[in-house]
Amino acid sequence: MKSSHVGRDGSIAMVDVSRKPVSSRVARAEALVRMSPAAQRALRSATLSKGDALVAAQLAGIMAAKQTASLIPLTHPLPLSCVDVRFDWHEDLLRVEAEARTTAQTGVEMEAMVAAAIAALTIYDMSKSLDKGIAIEGIRLLRKSGGKSGLWVRK
């Protein structure tokens, strides 16, 4: 199987989507942030000296999704209809979930994953004074819909 980003001559190439139909597309991704109880308490109570880390991370994730084509060389710039970043606690694990939506000729998987990753990195940045051992784990696509391949859900 050949990557869609490899040209006929073996060079890298941006996928030509000019003949693909425009369709509604949605992607959801997650990143997991594992941290110490002290860091978790500070995040939950918004007592970090830098301010409310979850609000900052939410904004950073949204802003990052809008910059995906500038960050990842072969992605297409997309008109994003919506980017949503949410957080959910599971003991010492903070789950960051990002969803991106567009109506375009190509999907928004990369935008959703970039949003989740940058939100997680923002949590690390704002919490590192409390716990240098914070680990970001499992950045992955959870679900995508739209386009030729239709619905895909992680099992």
- Domain positions in the chain are 34-144
DSSP 93-125: EEEEEEEEEEEESS--HHHHHHHHHHHHHHHHH
Q: What pLDDT does residue 148 have?
A: 86
Q: What pLDDT does residue 14 have?
A: 86
Q: How many CB atoms lie within 10 A of CB 73?
A: 9
Catalogue the long-range contacts made by 145-154 (C-beta closer than 8 Å, 24 or more residues apart). 145/25, 145/26, 145/27, 146/23, 146/24, 146/25, 146/26, 146/107, 147/20, 147/23, 147/25, 147/106, 147/107, 148/20
Told to judge if 88 belongs to the known catalytic residues of this protein, a careful annotator would answer no
Q: How far apart are CA 3 and CA 8, in angstroms?
A: 11
- Do 57 and 35 meet the contact criterion of CB atoms below 8 Å apart? no
Q: What pLDDT does residue 13 have?
A: 79
Q: For residue range 36-58, what is the model confidence (pLDDT) as tens digits? A: 998 898 888 876 555 688 999 99
pLDDT at 2 over 60: no
Average pLDDT for residues 78-91, to the nearest whole number? 95
Q: What pLDDT does residue 48 have?
A: 57
Q: Which run of H or of E encompasses 62?
A: helix 53-65
Q: Is the overall model pTM greater than 0.75, yes or no?
A: yes
Of 9, 84, 88, 125, the catalytic one is: 125
Q: What pLDDT does residue 66 have?
A: 98
CATH class of segment(s) 34-144: alpha beta
Q: What pLDDT does residue 45 have?
A: 80
